[in-house]
């Protein structure tokens, strides 16, 4: 099995949607790829997110007829050790996440694929999720 890691700031909304949608599509296609997701913030408690996953993520998955398989799992911070466990890495937004990668994990910068999916407050969740879906469909075509 091959593994991809989706990264965002808090592992609450964008990366969690990407993980769930990628795994759904990979299952449907019979792919050997599986996804996980983690957050770049090392202290996720300061974000004060409500619940284990964003309601935007749950609602968008439901709108697509999908059940969130990991809705009880709370956000997880990425560690340096995580980078040896995955075959591919995607950070949701280069403007937001490149500085964090450069500061926390500079040895990984060249290995990370950066997308341009903005967080809530900067992009409507429906638009962001649509673009995540399109990017995953393109990505999975390349990986398979």
Taking 70 as the threshold, does the pLDDT of residue 47 lie above it?
Answer: no
d(CA 46, CA 59): 24
| Confidence (pLDDT) at 103 | 92
Mean pLDDT of 28-45: 86
Question: The CATH number of the domain where 54 resides is what?
Answer: 3.40.50.2300
Which sign does the torsion angle of CA 21, 22, 25, 26 carry?
Answer: negative
Higher pLDDT, 44 or 116: 116
Total domain count, the chain: 1
| Confidence (pLDDT) at 120 | 82
Dump pLDDT digits (tens) for 51-110. Answer: 677 788 888 888 888 876 766 777 888 999 999 999 999 999 999 999 999 999 999 988
Mean pLDDT of 37-45: 78
d(CA 18, CA 138): 13
Q: What is the 3-state secondary structure (H, E, C) of 99-128?
A: HHHHHHCHHHHHHEEECECCCCCCCCHHHH
The first and second tokens of residue 110, run together, are 């060249």
| Confidence (pLDDT) at 44 | 57
What percentage of the chain has pLDDT greater than the value 90? Answer: 58
Which sign does the torsion angle of CA 15, 16, 19, 20 carry?
Answer: negative
| Confidence (pLDDT) at 71 | 64
Higher pLDDT, 41 or 142: 142
| Confidence (pLDDT) at 4 | 97
The residue segments making up the domain with residue 70 are: 2-143
CA atoms within 13 A on the CB side of 23: 20
| Confidence (pLDDT) at 128 | 93
């Amino acid at each position: 099995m091959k593994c991809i890691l989706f990264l965002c700031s808090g592992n609450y909304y964008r990366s969690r949607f990407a993980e769930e949608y990628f795994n759904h599509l990979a299952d449907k296609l019979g792919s050997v790829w599986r996804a996980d997701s983690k957050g770049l913030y090392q202290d996720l408690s300061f974000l004060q997110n409500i619940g284990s996953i964003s309601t935007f993520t749950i609602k968008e998955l439901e709108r697509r007829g999908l059940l969130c398989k990991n809705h009880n799992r709370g956000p997880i911070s990425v560690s340096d050790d995580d980078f040896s466990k995955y075959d591919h890495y995607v950070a949701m937004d280069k403007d937001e996440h490149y500085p964090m990668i450069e500061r926390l994990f500079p040895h990984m910068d060249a290995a990370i694929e950066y997308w341009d999916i903005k967080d809530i407050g900067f992009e409507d969740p429906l638009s962001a999720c649509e673009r995540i879906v399109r990017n995953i469909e393109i990505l999975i075509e390349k990986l398979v």
